[in-house]
Amino acid sequence: MRIIILGPPGSGKGTIAEKLAKELKLFHFSPGELLREEVQKQTTLGKEIKQYLDKGELVPNAFVTQLVKLELKNKKNFILDGFPRSLEQAKDIDDLKITIVFAMDVSETIVLKRLAQRRICATGEHTYHRTILPPKKKGICDYDGTKLIQRKDDKPSTIKERFKVYRKETIPVIQYFKRKKLLDIIDGTQDPETVYTTVKRILHT
Tell me if 12 contacts ligand AMP by CB under 6 A: no
Considering only residues 16 through 35, tell me which ones interact with ligand AMP, judged by CB under 6 A: 30-32, 35
Pairing of strands 148-149, 118-121: antiparallel
Measured distance CA(171)–CA(70) in Å, rounded: 25
* Residue of the chain from 8, 12, 82, 188 that contacts ligand AMP (CB under 6 A): 82
- Residue 119 among the catalytic residues: no
Question: Residue length, the chain?
Answer: 205
Cβ neighbours of 157 (radius 10 Å): 10
* Residue of the chain from 162, 173, 177, 183 that contacts ligand AMP (CB under 6 A): 162
Scanning 17-25, 78-86, 93-101, 194-202 for contacts with ligand AMP by CB under 6 A, the matching segment is 78-86
Q: How far is the CB of 29 from ligand AMP (least distance, A)?
A: 10
- Residue 113 among the catalytic residues: no
Measured distance CA(172)–CA(159) in Å, rounded: 20
Per the omega criterion (within 30 degrees of 0), is the bond before 172 cis?
no
The residues assigned a catalytic role are 13, 85, 118, 151, 162
